[in-house]
Structure 1
Amino acid sequence: MRHASRRLPEYGTYHPAVPADIADVSLDLKPSVLADAESASREIARFDAELGGEIAPFAAVLLRSESAASSQIENLTASARAIAEAELPGGKAKRNAETIVANTAAMRAAVALSDTIDADAILAMHRALMVNEPRHTPGEFRTEPVWIGGGSTPVGATFVGPRHELIPAAIDDLIAFARRADVPALPQIAAAHAQFETIHPFTDGNGRTGRALVQAMLRNKGLTRQVTVPVSAGLLADTGAYFAALRRYRDGDAAPIVERFAEASLLAVANGRELVSELREIRATWNTVITARSDSAVWKVADLLIRRPVVNAVLLAQELGIESTNAHRYLNPLTTAGIIVEATSGPRNRVWRSPEVLAALDAFAERAGRRRR
C-alpha cells in the first residue's frame, strides 16, 4: 500500500476507482454459489455452538489466531511466542508482533461494536489497529490518494483508491447495504468486505480493518454468538484467489468473493476444530501431572495458560488476583511438572511459557498458510 506523503508529480495519468452504489443492489448469484454459502454459514454457526461452556479459553485463542492470520495476509508474521510475549504487561515487543497485537485489539473492537455497524464503529476498529502508527491518522478517513502496486506515484498502479472526497458517502452506502435483512448473511458479508476494500478509506490498514469488519458482521448477523471464527486463516490458504476475487468484484462480479468466503469459512472451521481439539488434549494431559490441592490457584494458572501461553507475575496479578510476591508458589509446581519453562533476561523480567500450547498455535498458523494443491 502506498500513499501520498509528498506532492505528486504533475505528469502521467491514473484512474481512481469509482465505487458503485450497493445500498439497494440485488446480488445476482447462481443457485450453486448460494448453496455453498449457506452450507458454510451452517458450519460457522455449528462451530460457534460446539464450544458450549468452554468459551472462556477458546474465544481468546481463536480471536488472536484470526488476528495473526489476517496480519499474515499482509505479510506480517510472528511466532506464537513472540505474539504472546508482546501481549505481556510491560513486555518488550518485536515490530511484527506488536502490529499483530494491535490487530487483535481491532478485532476485539469489531466484536464489541457489532451491535451497531456504522462509520463510527469502522473508525474505532482502525483506531485500535493503528494506535502506534500516528502517521496513518488512526480512526480518520484519508485525505490523500492511496494505491497498490506501481512506484512512488499512482501512475501505473494496479489499483488506485477512490478520490478521498467520495469516501464518506461511499461508507454510508456500504453501511446501508450491511444493515439490510433481505440478503443471505455470508454473501452479504463477503460483498460488504469487497466493497470496503474497494473504497480503501484509510492510508494503511485497509485489509486488516476490512477483515475486522467481517468479524463484526458475522456477530451482527447471528452467525457467531460466542467466538471468532478465523475466516482469515481460510483466506490465507490461497491469497492469490482472494485478491483475484476482489478484482473480479470491482469488475462487477460478486460471485468469486462469495465463493472464496464460503470456502475460506469451511477451511477456517476445520482448522479451528483441530486447534481446539489439540488444546483440550493438552489441558487434559496436564491434569495427570499436576500435583496440587484441588482448591489451589495452580489449576487457575493452568487454565490461564491455554489462552495466555506466556505469563509473568504482573499478568497473574491482573488476571487471577495473585500477588506478585506469591507468583512462584503457583508457577513452581507447573515448572516441576514440565508444563512451563522459565525464561529470564534479568531478575525483573521473569516470564514463563507453555511450549505445548505455543506449538499448537504455531501448527494452526502453519496449516492456515499451507497452499492448497
Structure 2
Amino acid sequence: MPDDGLASRSARARGTGPYEATLPAPLAGAEPYSPSLPGDLAADVADAEKALTTFDAHAIARLGADNPALGPMSAILLRTESASSSQIEDLTVGARQLALAEIDESRSGNAATVIANVRTMEAALRLADSLDLETVLALHAELLTGARDAGRLRDQLVWVGRSGLSPLGAVHIAPEAEDVPAAMADLVSFLDREDLPVLLHAAIAHAQFETIHPFTDGNGRTGRALVHAMLRGKGLLTTTAPVSAGLLAQLSAYTEALSAYRAGDARPIVEQFARAARYAAATGTRLVDALSAQLEEDRGRLTGVRPHALAWKVLPLLIGQPILSAAHLRSTLDVPAMSAQRALAQLTELGVLQEATGRSRNRVWQHPGILALLDDYAAEVRRAG
C-alpha cells in the first residue's frame, strides 16, 4: 500500500500484502455455455425477450405511433430507468427534483448526477448502431462530464469493497490497468456477435464489463447504459424498458450474480436479467397505462378549449416533463413568452397544473398527478427490494 501521507502506519500495515486481480476469460470467440445453452435457461430467456417485445408494442399502441405523447413517454421511461440505475449506486432522487433538474431549477447534487445518467442513456440509444470502444468511452464521458478521467480507460488498479486504501479484502479486484485495453478489445469483439439471444448477449456483456471495471468511476451506470444500447441496437426494443428497476428490486441477487460470474458461473446473471426483464415489462406496462390514463383525464379537462390553443401542445409534453417554467416552455415549443404564460395560466385554471413556488417571478408549474405516479412507481420498486 503506497504512503500518501493520509493513512496511519497501522492502516498501511493492514493494507499491505499480496492480492489477486481478476483476469476475465476472453469472450469474443467463446461459447458462454458449453456445449449449449441449457433448455430451461433458453426458455427463460425467450420468455423474457417476448415480455420485452410485448411491452414495447404495447407502449407504442397505447398512444399510437403518431401521438405527440409518444416521445415524452419514451423520455419518462428512459428517465425512470436512469433513476433506477443510479439508485443501484445509492443515488436516490424523487421525481420532482429530477424534473426540476431537467429545467435547471434543482439544487440537489444527486439530481444533477442522475440527469448526467439520463444523458448517458440517451447517448446509448443514439449510438446503439455502433457498439465499439469509442461508443463506450463516449457513454462514460457523457456520464462524468468535466471529470479528469471522463471517457478514458483507467491507468490504476480499482476494486469493489469498503476500503478505499487497499484492495485487500475487496469483494472484487478488477484486472490490472495494463490488462484493460486488451480485455475491452475482446469485449467489443463479443458485442459484434449475432449468434446469441439478445438478452443473454446483453447480460453476459454487462457482467464482463463490470468484471473488467474499465474506469475509475461510473462503471455500473455505464455498464447498464451499454445494456440498453444492445437492446436497442440488436433490435429487441424501440422504447426503454425499466430493466434497472428489475435489477434494483432484487439488488443483492444482482450483485451476487456478478460475483458468481467472476467465479466462472454465468447462469445467475442471465437469470437475473431474465427476471429483471419480466419485471420491467410488467411494471413498465402498468406505468405506461397509468400515465396514458392521466393524459386522457387531462384531455377531458380541456374540453371546450379551442383546438388550436397552445395548451393542447403542452399537454403531451407533461408526460415527459411534469414540471415546467415559462422559459423552458418558450424554448421547447419556440413560442413567444406571452403565449407560454397564457398556456400555463390556462392549464392552471383548468386544474391540470399547479404553480409550485408562490413567487411572482421565476415561477415553475407542476403536474402533481404525474409526479405522484412516478414516485409511486419508485416506491413499488423499493418495496420489491
Same fold at TM > 0.5: yes
Letter in 1 for 2:32: L
Partner SS, residue 344 of structure 1: coil
Give the whole-Å Cα distance in 1 for the aligned partners of 2:358 and 2:150: 34
1:368 partnered with 2:348 = no
Q: 2:53 maps to which residue?
A: 45
Q: 1:202 maps to which residue?
A: 215
Equivalenced residue count is 366
Identify which range, 90-99 or 34-43, moves more after superposition: 90-99
Give the C-alpha shift of residue 57 in structure 1: 2.5
Partner SS, residue 250 of structure 2: helix
Give the whole-Å Cα distance in 2 for the aligned partners of 1:208 and 1:6: 29
Q: 1:241 maps to which residue?
A: 253
1:269 partnered with 2:281 = yes
Match of 1:56 among 71, 86, 89: 71
Give the C-alpha shift of residue 79 in structure 1: 0.5
Aligned CA RMSD, in angstroms, stands at 1.9
Give the C-alpha shift of residue 13 in structure 1: 2.0
Match of 1:140 among 145, 148, 152: 152
Contact 2:329/2:340 (<8 A) preserved? yes
Letter in 2 for 1:19: P
Identify which range, 71-80 or 7-16, moves more after superposition: 7-16
Give the whole-Å Cα distance in 2 for the aligned partners of 1:158 and 1:361: 34
Q: 2:94 maps to which residue?
A: 79
Q: 2:313 maps to which residue?
A: 300
Give the whole-Å Cα distance in 2 for the aligned partners of 1:339 and 1:365: 23
1:162 partnered with 2:167 = no
Give the whole-Å Cα distance in 1 for the aligned partners of 2:218 and 2:25: 22
Give the whole-Å Cα distance in 2 for the aligned partners of 1:345 and 1:116: 47
Give the whole-Å Cα distance in 2 for the aligned partners of 1:208 and 1:303: 29
Give the C-alpha shift of residue 170 in structure 1: 0.6
Partner SS, residue 97 of structure 1: helix
Partner SS, residue 365 of structure 2: strand
Match of 2:17 among 12, 16, 19: 12
Identify which range, 258-267 or 42-51, moves more after superposition: 42-51
Contact 1:271/1:368 (<8 A) preserved? no
Partner SS, residue 384 of structure 2: coil
Partner SS, residue 293 of structure 1: coil
1:107 partnered with 2:125 = no
Structure 1 gap segments, 5+ residues each: none
Identify which range, 185-194 or 347-356, moves more after superposition: 347-356
Name the % identity.
Answer: 44
Give the C-alpha shift of residue 326 in structure 1: 2.8
Runs of 4+ in 1 over 3 A off after TM superposition: 4-10, 345-348
Identify which range, 270-279 or 150-159, moves more after superposition: 150-159
Partner SS, residue 19 of structure 2: coil
TM-score normalised by structure 2 residue count = 0.91
Q: 2:112 maps to which residue?
A: 98
